[in-house]
Structure 1
Amino acid sequence: MKRVVVGLSGGVDSSVAAYLLQQQGYEVIGLFMKNWHDDSVTISNECPWLEDSNDALLVAEKLGIPFQTVDLSEQYQEKIVDYMFREYEKGRTPNPDVLCNREIKFDVFMKIALSLGADYVATGHYCKKSEIEVSGETVYQLLAGADNNKDQSYFLCQLSQEQLAKSLFPIGELTKPEVRDIAAQMELVTAEKKDSQGLCFIGKVRLPEFLQQKLQPKEGSIIQIDKEHSIYNTEDKQELSVKDSLLLASNKIAYTPEMGKVVGKHQGAHYFTIGQRKGLNVGGTTDPLFIIATNVETNTIYTGLSSQHPGLFRKGLFIEKSEVHWIRTDLALDNGGQMEVMARIRYRQPLQKATLHQFEDGMYISFQEPQSAITEGQFAAWYLDDELVGSGVIS
Structure 2
Amino acid sequence: MKKKTVVIGMSGGVDSSVAAKILLEEGYYVIGLFMHNWDDSDENGECSSANDWADVQAVCGKLDIPCYSVNFSKEYMEHVFSYFLDEYKIGRTPNPDVLCNREIKFGPFVSYARRLGAEYIATGHYCGISHASGTVQLLKAADTEKDQTYFLNQVKTEQLMDVKFPLAKLTKDEVRFLANKYKLVTAAKKDSTGICFIGERKFKEFLQTYLPMQKGRIVDLSGKEIGEHDGLMFYTLGQRRGLKIGGVKDEDNNRWYVVDKQVNRNILVVSNGEGKELYSKGLTATNLNFIGDMDFSSTFACTAKCRYRQTEQDCAVSINDGEAIVEFLDPQRAVTPGQYVVFYKEDRCLGGGVIDEIIK
> Unaligned 5+ residue runs, structure 2?
none
Contact 2:124 2:165 in 1 (8 A): yes
Give the number of equivalent residue pairs: 350
Secondary structure of 2:136 counterpart = strand
Match of 1:333 in 2: 296
- Report % sequence identity: 44
Q: Given the superposition, is the C-alpha separation of residues 361 and 30 from structure 1 closer, same or farther in structure 2, using an over 3 Å criterion?
A: closer
Matches within 5 A, 1:13-162: 13-39=15-41, 42=42, 45-133=45-133, 138-162=134-158
Contact 2:280 2:333 in 1 (8 A): yes
What do residues 267-292 of structure 1 show as CA deviations (whole Å, max 9, x unaligned)?
A: 11122211122221112262221111
Find 1:2's aligned residue among 4, 15, 30.
4
TM superposition shift of 1:361 = 5.6
Find 1:388's aligned residue among 346, 349, 352.
349
Secondary structure of 1:91 counterpart = coil
Match of 2:278 in 1: 312
Match of 1:282 in 2: 245
Secondary structure of 1:78 counterpart = helix
TM superposition shift of 1:311 = 1.1
Q: CA–CA distance in 2 between the matches of 1:16 and 1:374?
A: 35
Q: Given the superposition, is the C-alpha separation of residues 15 and 83 from structure 1 closer, same or farther in structure 2, using an over 3 Å criterion?
A: same
Matches within 5 A, 1:238-317: 259-284=222-247, 286-306=253-273, 308-317=274-283
Q: CA–CA distance in 1 between the matches of 2:117 and 2:47?
A: 32
Indicate yes or no: 2:162 matched with 1:166.
yes
Indicate yes or no: 2:288 matched with 1:324.
yes
What do residues 196-221 of structure 1 show as CA deviations (whole Å, max 9, x unaligned)?
A: 11213552342222221221111101
What do residues 322-381 of structure 1 show as CA deviations (whole Å, max 9, x unaligned)?
A: x121112x31422xx211101000101100000101223621000001011111111100
Match of 1:348 in 2: 309
The alignment's TM-score, normalised by the length of structure 2, stands at 0.94
Q: CA–CA distance in 2 between the matches of 1:174 and 1:301?
A: 44
TM superposition shift of 1:46 = 3.2
Structural RMSD (CA): 1.4
Contact 2:198 2:206 in 1 (8 A): no
> Unaligned 5+ residue runs, structure 1?
226-258
Secondary structure of 1:70 counterpart = strand
Contact 1:128 1:143 in 2 (8 A): yes
